[in-house]
Amino acid sequence: MSAPGGDGRGSDAAPAGPGVARVMRLIAAGCAEALEGRGVNASYRLTDGGRELSVKVHCPERSGAAVPRRVAAVDAALRGCAWYPPVLDLGLHPGGRPRLVVVRPFVPGAASEDAREHAAALAGVLTDLAGRADGLAVAEETVGDYASAWLADGERERALAAPFLTGRWTPLARVAQARLGELVDGAARLTRTDAVVVHHGDLHGRNLIRGTGAGDPLTVIDWDETGFSRRPADAAKALWLTCRAGRGDFVLDPAAVRAFLEHLDAGPGLPCSGAADLARLGALWFLPREGHLRLLGERGADLVPWYLDWVARFWARFPGNLERVERVAANLPAGRRPGPPRRPR
């Protein structure tokens, strides 16, 4: 597969790109800047023919045949959104283990160090993600999010991760055992069988880029985990990553939680039982999974302890933060309290 159109050169909606093979040759020749990150995929910035490009090279384990189909399906759904950087080319780069390569325009600008200022912009993006999928027929292989494996067999996922959660991370194993049922139940209450939304997968302030010019639009980057979801998984994760009082910790700012929930209510709304279940759904992303831990370890020996320390801070704050979310939601004006689901406008 090489280009979203599926014929190797794209379609009317997906113009021909610079070519995955050419881009990979430039990277191998040292003509690209490697962008820093702690994820399992690699990111590059390069210039080709006067055009700045962003290149994402997926690790082999995240390059299965369904992944490019997910990326292409989302690309077809979102083309034309002002905040979406379209796919210029994608394909599997051959080698010992093929890797998915996705080429997009590079977006200059900077993300805010304080994601709380992005609440309104995030709500607008979430509204578009829901609206672009409204009534869309999607292949089942493109549907899934970070909660899917936990809902399918949470006890199996917990058991697979258990060998990593020893020593100073034993409390994480206890958290998974104690909280899993509650979190899965909350996620299940927010799951719909009759509709999907476009799923970004990592929607938070650092992935919202403001352009360098005064009138430049917001751009959403990092589409590694994209696909479709039957839950408000993006909103749930963004609640935790956008409403923190500061980066690096997980104490939620009640004013930011209130603003976020109010913006959501003005846009797509909160389905089913509301804010507390939204928080429980998002918390599933912070439960360590064996596959992710293994891939982090393969990329760098220091990444697994860094990640486990990071999620341990999340769970140390979780009980108090969940109470904050419930308290804020209960004190919203009656007309703005999270209630039953409604179709996106």
Decide: helix, strand or coil at residue 40: coil
Same domain, 90 and 124: no
Are residues 277 and 331 both part of a single domain?
Answer: yes
- Report yes or no on 257 lying in a domain: yes
Would you state the pLDDT for residue 214? 65
Do 94 and 125 share a domain, yes or no?
no
For 168-203, how does the pLDDT look when each residue is reduced to its tens digit (9 = 90+)?
999 999 999 999 999 999 999 999 988 899 999 998
Given a cut of 70, is residue 31 above it in pLDDT?
Answer: yes
What is the span of the domain harbouring residue 240? 115-336
pLDDT interval class at 134 (50, 70, 90): confident
Does 5 map to a domain?
no
Based on the fold, state whether residues 300 and 233 are members of the same structural domain. Answer: yes
Q: What is the pLDDT of residue 307?
A: 95
Mean pLDDT, the chain, integer = 88
Statement to judge: residues 26 and 119 lie in one domain: no
Within this chain, do residues 189 and 331 fall inside the same structural domain, yes or no? yes
CATH number at residue 316: 3.90.1200.10
- The CB-based long-range contact list for 94-100 (8 Å cut-off, 24+ gap) reads 97/60, 97/63, 98/60, 98/63, 99/57, 99/58, 99/59, 99/60, 99/63, 100/57, 100/58, 100/62, 100/63, 100/67, 100/68, 100/71
pLDDT score recorded for residue 345: 34
The per-residue pLDDT for 11 is 37
60 pLDDT higher than 70: yes
14 pLDDT higher than 90: no
Q: Look up the CATH number of the domain holding residue 92.
A: 3.30.200.20
Please check whether residue 1 lies inside any domain of the structure.
no
| One domain, residues 95 and 158 | no
105-114, 267-276, 302-311: least confident range: 267-276
How many structural domains compose the chain? 2
Q: What is the SS3 string spanning 113-162?
A: CCHHHHHHHHHHHHHHHHHHHCCCCCCHHHECCCCHHHHHHHHHHHHHHH
